[in-house]
Amino acid sequence: MTEIFLDPTAELNPTAKPLLPRLSSLEGKTIGLLDIAKPRGDVFLDRIEALFSERGVNVKRYKKPTMTRVAPVAVKQQLALECDAVIEALAD
């Protein structure tokens, strides 16, 4: 089966990007939760954080300053340095 993922950005010449391997386990891992600053995204992430915390998974929260721009480079670098995986909230 072939999976196709669409990138919603306005790239004129999109490049193929391979998917990163999935984590084999969440044990000892840190999951970053990125709030993109859309309304109610925090509600979704609060629930995700609670579910991870119940299972003993370390969670760190991050937030973009505004939903209208990409995450600042500093936030992306922090996510890359501090997290093993990231969940991004898209909600209204």
pLDDT tens, residue by residue, 35-79 = 998 888 889 999 999 999 999 999 999 999 888 888 889 999 999
The verdict on residue 75 lying in a domain is: yes
The verdict on residue 68 lying in a domain is: yes
Provide the residue range defining the domain that includes 40.
30-89
The verdict on residue 4 lying in a domain is: no
pTM for this prediction: 0.77
The verdict on residue 69 lying in a domain is: yes
Number of alpha helices (DSSP H) and beta strands (DSSP E) in the chain: 2, 3
Distance CA 78, CA 2 (A): 33
**Both tokens assigned to 58:** 């370390």
The verdict on residue 2 lying in a domain is: no
Distance CA 71, CA 34 (A): 9
Do 38 and 90 meet the contact criterion of CB atoms below 8 Å apart? yes
The verdict on residue 12 lying in a domain is: no
- What total number of domains does the chain contain? 1
